Amino acid sequence: MRVKRYVVDSMPDALQKIRSDLGKDAVILNTKEIRSGGFLGLFGKKKIEVIAAVDGPGSAPGSGARQTAPRAAAARAPAAPRPAAPVAILEPEQLSFPEVPDVLPPAKPAQQPEPAAEPKGAPPPPQVSAAGVYSPPKPAPAKSREDLLFEELKQMREMMQKLSLQAGGGEAAVPVTAPRVRERLAEQEVDPLLVDMWLDRAKADADELGEPLTESLASRSVRSQMAGLLRMEGHKAIAPQTKIAHFVGPTGVGKTTTIAKLAAEQVLKHRRKVGFITSDTYRISAVEQLRTYANILNVPLEVVFSPQDLLKAFAALEDCDLIFMDTAGRNFRNEMYVSELNTLLRTQGDSETYLVLSLTTKYKDMKAITGNFTKFKLDKVLFTKMDETDSYGAVVNLVHDFGLQLSYVADGQNVPDDIAELDEQKLIDSILEELPDE
């Protein structure tokens, strides 16, 4: 193979020189723009560097096979003008090599040994074009996170099937039926692991009775297991001996409105003397909102800006039976904010800390927030915005994962009405709505 370099002003000049020097079978390997002349690389003239090559030891211009004719015929008839020989040019994407590629010698067909089998997962061999130009192998496309997750789930499923076969003495596990119950729980965003556990228990109960697992039997069993999870011995309402009730939670869940509802209940129904403390000085008009409720209920309000102000606030409200403390909503997925807030949760006597969460929040975020708060003092959980969603599985998931005591649930903006103690049976009916239980 002959390889030759040209420095020209334009591509037509290059093509003419390549055709005259290397013949019609020449191939352009690379082109790039360079600067020629000038002073210290400056003021140089733009040129084009062209690398061309042709197969064979010495291809001369016009050295291709030509048809011959008798001399007499050639003398009688004048030779017709021959069209210019075409030059083979690579596609544009093949011309963008940063450097002149290596030229590989032609392989020896008779003396080369047979290629050994490549190990699994080895990179593909180098590719050589017909012109003898080396092309690097294309890397395999990287797998996306979804593909990796799918493969991992597939492996876990295969492992579970193997374990089922081993536990069953080599027989395949009997699939759990009751698809309507499973579908309803999935719609309510109940944890799939919890659903599997409940339905497995329902299947075991059906096997003990010697009956097939029907929809009604599965529904009754799930209702019973859910009731056992949600039923707790503690008081949902504010305990009579509680002196301070702290309310914590992320932004926008309705802590201030919830405090106003509960304070009105304590004042009007239980005849307790109530006071307010707020540290929510981040949100615009937050203090004024609570001050409006304090004026309506005729109860005192203290504003604190630091933990040092708490002692003064407690001293000013020492004659109150119950103090409601409103805290600033922050991004409590960040543990640092929870730690800062914990310095404000000082107690003067018996106290309770309520985590306020909105049922419109994704359970993944609820879980992260609750996980950070459980590292400190947390007694009960209160849910708001029940009227803005028809999915209640997060309540079940949170109780199962953290074992928190349920308290109140708010289902509207009206003060002091739209709040009540959470009714487990009502919640179960809402989750398993329209499923047979008889």
Position 71 scores a pLDDT of 44
List the domain range (segments joined by +) for residue 19: 1-60+85-102
C-alpha 168/C-alpha 165 separation (Å) is: 5
What pLDDT, on a 0 to 100 scale, did the predictor assign at position 171? Answer: 41
Element (H, E) at 289: helix 286-297
| Same domain, yes or no: 214 and 253 | no
Q: For the domain that residue 292 is a member of, what is the CATH number? A: 3.40.50.300
Q: Which residues pair with 278 in a beta bridge?
A: 303, 326
Return d(Cα 347, Cα 292) in angstroms, integer.
26
Tell me which of 60-74, 237-251, 366-380 is least confident: 60-74
The pLDDT confidence band at residue 234, using thresholds 50, 70 and 90, is confident
Q: What is the pLDDT of residue 88?
A: 46
- Is the model's pLDDT at 172 over the cut of 50? no
Which pair of tokens denotes residue 124?
Answer: 């593909």
* For the chain, percent of residues with pLDDT exceeding 70: 65
Q: Tokens for 165, please give them.
A: 């076969």
CA-CA distance, 417 to 409, in Å (whole number)? 11
Lowest mean pLDDT among 49-63, 190-204, 272-286: 49-63
**Residue 262 has what pLDDT?**
94
Instruction: Say yes or no: 229 and 248 in one domain.
Output: no
Question: What digits encode the pLDDT tens for the residues 98-144?
Answer: 444 444 444 445 455 555 555 544 555 555 444 454 455 555 555 66
What's the one-letter identity of residue 142? Answer: A
Indicate if 412 and 320 belong to the same structural domain. Answer: yes
Residues 281 and 356 in one domain: yes
What pLDDT, on the 0 to 100 scale, is given for residue 50?
A: 86
Closest CA to 326 of 288, 286, 278: 278
Q: What is the pLDDT of residues 193-221, one digit of tens each?
A: 999 999 999 999 888 888 888 888 999 99
Question: Is there a single domain that holds both residue 215 and residue 253?
Answer: no
User: For residue range 347-361, what is the model confidence (pLDDT) as tens digits?
Assistant: 656 888 899 999 999
Distance CA 100, CA 339 (A): 62
Q: How far apart are CA 319 and CA 123, in angstroms?
A: 80
In a shared domain, residues 266 and 205: no
> Can you name the residues that pair with 355 across neighbouring β-strands?
248, 381
Whether residue 340 is predicted with pLDDT greater than 90 in this model: the reply is: no
How far, in Å, are 268, 271, 293, 355 from residue 265 at the CA level?
5, 9, 13, 19
Residue 75 lies in a domain: no
Average pLDDT over residues 374-398: 90
| pLDDT top residue among 404 and 282 | 404
- For residues 350 and 212, membership in a common domain is answered with no
Report residue 57's pLDDT band, with 50, 70 and 90 as the boundaries.
low
How many domains are contained in the chain? 3
Contacts of 180 (CB under 8 A, 6+ apart): 215, 435
How far, in Å, are 139, 152, 323, 416, 428 from residue 143 at the CA level? 12, 13, 57, 55, 42
User: Is there a domain that residue 149 lies in?
Assistant: no
Is residue 186 domain-shared with residue 288, that is, in the same domain?
Answer: no
Residue 126 belongs to some domain of the structure? no
Is residue 297 located within the same domain as residue 342?
yes
Number of neighbouring beta carbons within 10 Å of residue 38? 10
Separation CA 287–CA 428 (nearest Å):
38
